[in-house]
Amino acid sequence: MVRVGLTYRSMEPADLSAVTALEQATYATPWSEQVFRDELAQTDRIYLLAEDDGALAGYAGLMLVGDEAHVTTVAVDDAWRGKKVGTGLMIRLIDGAIHNGAAHLTLEVRASNVIAQDLYRRFGMAPVGVRKNYYQTEDALIMWAHDISGPEYGERISQIREGLSA
Ligand SMILES: CC(C)(COP(=O)(O)OP(=O)(O)OC[C@H]1O[C@@H](n2cnc3c(N)ncnc32)[C@H](O)[C@@H]1OP(=O)(O)O)[C@@H](O)C(=O)NCCC(=O)NCCS
């Protein structure tokens, strides 16, 4: 069940101490606060967060490159996992990407991270290749979803959205 109080909004520099705390709790090689700060300063980026009464539940970001949207990060606080926060973030990221003219969506994900891969598959992303040792000791799967601004993909997103409000 989705918590009614959860809200989504753009990430701001003032959020970065909470964001980097979650980043450090989530990733073995976390981004520094400065990396997030630099990302937020770019115009071709979208960074969003989910919060519950001001407490950070998760965040996600993407980079726009021509008509491609590259998801750069998705992280959900342990206490919030499995409650559709990642799904809510992805829907809003994709909305933003389409709004900014993106036609295709891509990302890299650890070969062992089947939970995240399942999330991305729900969003129509399919593995198309491998980047060897992308994460130093581990390969990355490259996933793509094409024609995200088309009606078929729109129908997929509508169904995911309906599932969230069920
Ligand atoms: C991957 C991650 C972002 C998913 O966020 P989440 O809010 O827990 O995901 P959701 O609740 O929206 O789940 C969406 C789908 O993801 C998959 N999923 C989520 N949690 C899962 C679990 N514990 N086991 C299996 N699949 C799971 C399922 O396909 C799920 O769909 P379903 O609920 O209809 O079965 C979160 O687990 C996380 O932050 N992991 C650590 C960081 C990470 O791996 N980020 C991705 C890097 S590329």
108 catalytic? Reply is: yes
pLDDT (0 to 100) of residue 154: 97
pLDDT of residue 5: 74
Mutate to test the pocket of ligand 1, among 81, 91, 156 (most ligand atoms within 8 A of CB): 81
**Structure tokens belonging to residue 47:** 């960074």
* Active-site annotation holds for 120: yes
Write down the pTM of the prediction.
Answer: 0.95
Q: 3-class DSSP state for residue 127? A: strand
Question: Which residues lie with the beta carbon below 6 Å from any ligand 1 atom?
Answer: 26, 74-76, 81-87, 109, 113, 115-116, 118-119, 122
Domain annotation for the chain: domains and CATH numbers? 6-165 (3.40.630.30)
Q: Do 105 and 94 form a contact (C-beta atoms < 8 A)? A: yes
Q: What is the pLDDT along the chain (166 residues), one digit of tens a residue?
A: 555 579 999 999 999 999 999 999 999 999 999 999 999 999 999 999 999 999 999 999 999 999 999 999 999 999 999 999 999 999 999 999 999 999 999 999 999 999 999 999 999 999 999 999 998 889 999 999 999 999 999 999 999 999 988 7
CB count in 10 Å sphere of residue 93: 24
Closest-CA residue to 110 (of 73, 64, 84, 78): 73
DSSP-assigned states of every residue in 19-67: HHHHHHHH-SSPPPHHHHHHHHH-TTEEEEEEEETTEEEEEEEEEEETT
The pLDDT assigned to 2 comes to: 52
Q: Which pLDDT score is estimated for 1? A: 52
149 CA distance to ligand 1 middle (Å): 24
**How many angstroms separate the CA atoms of 146 and 103, rounded?**
7
CA–centroid distance, 76 to ligand 1, in Å, is 8
Q: Which of 8, 59, 120, 153 is catalytic?
A: 120
Q: Which of 23, 47, 51, 108 is catalytic?
A: 108
72: amino acid identity, one letter: T
pLDDT score, position 104: 98
Q: What pLDDT, on a 0 to 100 scale, did the predictor assign at position 165?
A: 80
pLDDT at residue number 136: 84
Alpha-carbon span 148 to 68, nearest angstrom:
10
